[in-house]
Amino acid sequence: MTALRVLETNLLFASDLIVWLDGTSATDPAQMQRINSTVSVLFDNTRPADLRWRHGEGKTALWRRASARIVPGEAGDADRQALPEIPYTLSGSVSDNPGKYNPRRFEILAGNAQGHSLVMYPTPSGTAIGRGGALRGNLRFAADSAPAVWAILTLTVDLGVAGSLLFRAQADRHGDFVLPMQRLPPLPQGVVNYAATLSVRALADAAADTPLDPADLTDMQLGRLNAAGFAAAIDLTVLPGQYALIRSQGRDHVAVQPI
């Protein structure tokens, strides 16, 4: 049998990896699931000129052409070690191809295969509603009834002696939201509902045609559901399995205003 002679080895080193996570799947990003679709990313022109990328389901791999090298013969262990890379700022906007997730802006310091986890949130039509149920509605600013686009809602459910659970969702370009409670357990015996509070982060000048980075949102007040006035966190009750429409008192939407 003739031995295979390796004339040269082409080495290509990973620069970094972005993992796109479903923000409704868990509270802690370390426990969130990857989104189940391939993304499209529009990188800003400030990216390195030699940057290359490939998108997979729930992930984006990055590499630099300048780091590739050709080694005569078969590469040894030392040849396979990537050289230190000068970190670079990478920013842009991301959306998923099927349109099940809201688009978003992002900015990371990439390089040296550090790895980055960035959260995306499903659109109302892309939200999976399990046995825990969900809340739905529409967010609008009290001053002019403009939709509170891209706002992030946080629901804190009091489980009594078992502690509390957090659930999050994002309004879409129309201010519509579906907030799933997939991990909400059945009611304990003798308990008729769970007490909860709802809060929101938004931007008054956000535009429906311009995705934003959720980190840029600021705390808002919400119109109470069963009383007049606004609060930073409004009280409500939730039931496992219920798909409930919520509205501020006297309105056909949930009212939002800056603090």
What are 16-55's pLDDT values in tens digits? Answer: 999 999 999 999 999 999 999 999 999 999 999 999 999 9
Tell me the one-letter amino acid at 142.
Answer: A
Residue 3, pLDDT score:
62
Is the pLDDT at 169 greater than 70? The verdict is yes
pLDDT tier at 85, thresholds 50, 70, 90: confident
Mean pLDDT, residues 111-119 taken together: 94
98-129 per-residue burial string, b: 16 or more CB within 10 A, e: under 16: eebbbbbbbebebbbeeebebbbbbbbebbee
Over residues 137-149, the pLDDT tens digits come to 999 999 999 999 9
pLDDT for 4 equals: 66
> Is the pLDDT confidence value at 66 over 70?
no
Pick the more confident residue, 122 or 14.
Answer: 122
Residue 24, pLDDT score: 96
Report the predicted TM-score, pTM, of the whole model to 2 decimal places: 0.89
pLDDT at position 75, please?
Answer: 54
Give the model's confidence band at 65: pLDDT under 50 very low, under 70 low, under 90 confident, else very high.
Answer: confident
pLDDT given at position 223 = 98
pLDDT tens readout for residues 199-226:
999 999 999 999 999 999 999 999 999 9
CB environment 63-85: b (16+ within 10 A), e (fewer): bbeebeeeeeeebeeeeeeeeeb
Q: Please give the pLDDT value at position 171.
A: 98
d(CA 159, CA 240): 12
